[in-house]
């Protein structure tokens, strides 16, 4: 199978998985159900993903790829760290409050074994947060955030930018935010970070 065809097939499989997670919850779907919804063979799913957890991990990675790739590219290009932070903050809040991220978090929260939450953290947060911390460290090295340790600055940044927004979306207390609301939240988070860190 050509790479472009395989990429499209993977996209369709993951779309089917998102739809089924939304309809039935993670525990109530099988690889066979996903294969049928995606009009793919069960064998293909097991060959590409290993199992349902492997599929879930691939979905988390793919969902965070834009943010991760942007951070890697910007850091390698030695862009101004404050500009990187401004650019990535909006992408990050969009990502973490997106319907896909909410579906993945709901699935992880419903998994009593804790395996999905661990996978979500390992291939999502633990993959992206060190890069964000590196950007914040570069800003700190320029003389900003002198009152706080890098760990504290990183925690404060995430709390200001995301806080309980994602969990409130996941439990259905608030609807998806408009792009203007996300831009305002991002601007306020960065303003407060610069003011109080």
Token pair listed for 111: 């998994």
Q: What pLDDT is stored for residue 172 in this prediction?
A: 92
Under DSSP, the state recorded for 30 is -
Q: What pLDDT is stored for residue 99 in this prediction?
A: 92
Name the H helices within the chain: 3-24, 31-38, 42-49, 52-76, 81-96, 99-110, 115-120, 126-141, 150-161, 165-170, 179-196
Q: What pLDDT is stored for residue 185 in this prediction?
A: 96
Specify the pTM: 0.88
Q: What pLDDT is stored for residue 1 in this prediction?
A: 66
Q: What pLDDT is stored for residue 5 in this prediction?
A: 87
Give the pLDDT of the chain (197 residues) as one tens digit per residue.
688 889 999 999 999 999 999 899 888 999 999 999 999 999 999 999 999 989 998 998 888 998 999 999 999 999 999 999 999 999 999 999 999 999 999 988 888 888 889 988 988 899 999 999 999 999 999 999 888 999 999 999 999 999 999 999 999 999 999 999 999 999 999 999 999 87
**Closest C-alpha to 143, from 131, 132, 130, 153:** 153
Q: What pLDDT is stored for residue 124 in this prediction?
A: 87
Domain annotation for the chain: domains and CATH numbers: 1-50 (1.10.10.60), 60-196 (1.10.357.10)
The angle that helices 52-76 and 31-38 make with each other, rounded to 10 degrees, is: 70
């Amino acid at each position: 199978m050509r790479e472009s065809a395989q990429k499209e097939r993977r996209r369709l499989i993951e779309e089917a998985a998102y739809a089924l997670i939304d309809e039935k919850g993670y525990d109530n779907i099988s690889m066979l159900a996903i294969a049928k919804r995606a009009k793919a063979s069960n064998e293909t799913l097991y060959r590409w993903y290993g199992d349902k957890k492997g599929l879930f991990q691939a979905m988390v990675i793919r969902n965070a790829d834009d943010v991760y790739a942007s951070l890697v590219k910007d850091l390698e290009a030695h862009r101004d760290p404050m500009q990187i932070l401004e650019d990535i903050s909006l992408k990050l809040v969009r990502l973490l409050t997106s319907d896909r991220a909410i579906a993945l978090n709901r699935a992880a929260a419903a998994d009593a074994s804790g395996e999905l939450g661990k996978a979500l953290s390992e291939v999502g947060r633990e993959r992206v947060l060190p890069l964000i911390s590196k950007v914040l460290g570069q800003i700190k090295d320029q003389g900003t955030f002198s009152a706080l340790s890098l760990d504290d600055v990183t925690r404060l940044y995430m709390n200001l930018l995301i806080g309980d927004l994602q969990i409130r979306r996941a439990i259905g207390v608030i609807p998806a935010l408009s792009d203007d609301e996300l831009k305002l939240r991002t601007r306020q988070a960065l303003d407060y970070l610069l003011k109080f860190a």
